[in-house]
Chains A and B, each alone.
Chain A
């Protein structure tokens, strides 16, 4: 009976509410100019990640033996054939940078989805489980959080063997506890509320309570955390690549490119400057966007 009522009334309500909720979100989000700029940069980055190989002028691993360490076009000796110069093996910097977007984007997506989905499920369980299980789960998370994230990721990669996939797994494991804690905290707050009690009284089962009643109301802080850990994941994967523990050469991953360029820093500034700049711009754009998301989704967290 209740289900039927719900079924007949819901669609009409959804039609009315959804667009205005989205509009409301956009209203708050677009008030923050930095966030909108960040979003456009991020969309550009996503575009490069998807279509990079089609746009890049050359293959990222193609070596032009006659053009080793050629400077960018505005410097003496540079040419428009290689607008951002070439690296020590004569590969086109621009093509490598464009192709690199794909790896960083991939890292962000995979790490955030693995860490968030695992963390949400564990957090929900922890919030609904008996106290003893909750305590055990939270202690395990405390243990993981006791290790500095980059160090733990580094050691995990040392166990699994250096590669981009293993770096992503390691970073996702390290990030997971944040989602668990966040989800659990919001679950505990939501569980007290009347609508949850009424759902329980109406006979909703545990899994329905967890995933359909409570979870949607806990999503706002998780989405914000998702944006922030997207950027941290890119930074950490680049750091692992830089230490030789992430993507392996000749992969045009930005951190790995920096590691390869290290010995040339005093001779060829461009091989060092551009990959780092690409990381910085991407991470900055995502962080700007994350700040805007937080302001728009979570008025409680709003930075005055």
Chain B
């Protein structure tokens, strides 16, 4: 196990360095001078310009610049936003809970619907349910989610008036951040209707963000189930006279879950990419919207820092999935 752990870490470290290198390069390959961009339309004096060059370290050799960037990053220094002048690190962690809350809800939505859908399709292979579920899964998988969001807004917010169009909670409620998770904070605040409002705001973004993972999980569960259902021990279980529900639910699903869990772990990147679109459409104050807004505002330190943080999160999650997978399955451990 230790060797497996070390071999995984041995690939993690160079990838991390590469990711920092890319985000470091980002601000330097931009067309135009970042300092002039930072000054905005007011411009700046020659003196102030030189001062900024020294402050940002642009006068030093590139290698030295990278080294101070890397050591800064490792200490949680991602620079300051051009616009708000706040540290990027602080901004990221102020907004991250919103994205995390939305992503967790989307994942729960996808798993709760996707697993049973895949199992039902596999058990009814070739029959009506299978076809209907798998066609829907393929449609979900092909869905441009930004359009899907607009359609849901037209129907549920426009025509039916059931759900709000933007934000995390109604403006009527105000309370302090405790955890950063609106669902928990609204409950803690004890204000009547706050929790319901938070849920209302969460429904559509959750559906939109969860649609593609849902389709992927349903398809993966179905094919993993089909594979397992062909195994000898399932035949044995049938021959023993176990109830079909017990066979499918206990014997088959448990063994089919391993590839499904991997897919779930690996779709974190998809979720973060989806969050960019979903948060922009629903004005959800999370990382995705923050990134898009910063790109438009040319707030380069934010884009740079956000890019790095998101990549590192994806890497850590993938590493964890790999390690867990190795811990559960000795075959994988030995292979590497």
Contact = CB atoms under 8 A, between A and B. Distances in A.
Partners in one complex: yes
Interface of A: 34, 139-140, 142-143, 146-152, 154-155, 158-159, 161, 231, 235, 238-239, 242-245, 255, 258, 262, 265-266, 269, 272-273, 275-277, 279-280, 283-284, 287-288, 291, 303-304
Nearest to A150: B273
Contact of A146 (B19, B146, B148, B291): B19
Contacts of B216: none
A279 B144 contact: yes
Interface residues on B, range: 35 or more
Contacts of B158: 265-266
Nearest 6 pairs between A and B by C-beta? A276-B147, A143-B18, A148-B273, A150-B273, A284-B142, A283-B142
B139 A303 contact: no
Contacts of A279: 144, 147
B282 to A, nearest CB: 12
B150 A272 contact: yes
Nearest to B272: A148
Given A151-B276, A280-B139, 7 more contacts: A146-B314, A147-B310, A151-B272, A158-B295, A279-B147, A283-B142, A283-B144
A288 B141 CA distance: 11
Contacts of B277: 150, 239, 242-243
A152 to B, nearest CB: 8
A245 to B, nearest CB: 8
Nearest to A136: B14
25 contacts: A139-B15, A142-B15, A142-B18, A146-B312, A147-B22, A148-B273, A148-B310, A151-B307, A154-B292, A155-B307, A243-B276, A244-B296, A255-B144, A265-B158, A266-B154, A273-B151, A277-B147, A280-B144, A280-B147, A283-B144, A287-B141, A287-B142, A304-B223, A304-B226, A304-B227
B154 A269 contact: yes
Interface in B263-284: 269-270, 272-274, 276-277, 280
B147 A258 contact: yes
Interface string B141-181: 11110111011011000100000000000000000000000
Interface of B: 11, 14-15, 18-19, 21-22, 26, 29-31, 135, 138-139, 141-144, 146-148, 150-151, 153-154, 158, 223, 226-227, 230, 269-270, 272-274, 276-277, 280, 291-292, 295-296, 303, 307, 310-312, 314-315, 318
Contact of B18 (A139, A272, A277, A280): A139
Contacts of A266: 153-154, 158
B32 to A, nearest CB: 10
Instruction: Select the residue from B15, B26, B142, B270 with max chain A CB neighbours within 10 A.
Output: B142
A243 B280 contact: yes
B79 to A, nearest CB: 16
B291 A143 contact: no
B305 to A, nearest CB: 12
A140 B14 CA distance: 9
A288 B137 CA distance: 12
B214 to A, nearest CB: 16
Contacts of A139: 11, 14-15, 18
B15 A276 contact: no
B277 to A, nearest CB: 6
Contacts of A147: 19, 22, 307, 310-311, 314
B142 A158 contact: no
Nearest to B144: A279
Contact of A258 (B139, B150, B270, B318): B150
Nearest to A236: B273
A304 B230 contact: yes
Contacts of A265: 150, 153-154, 158
Given A147-B307, A276-B144, A159 B154 contact: no
Given A155-B307, A161-B31, A287-B138, A239 B151 contact: no
Contacts of A269: 154
Contacts of B312: 146
Nearest to A161: B31
Contacts of A258: 146-147, 150
A248 to B, nearest CB: 14
Nearest to B271: A148
Contacts of B227: 304
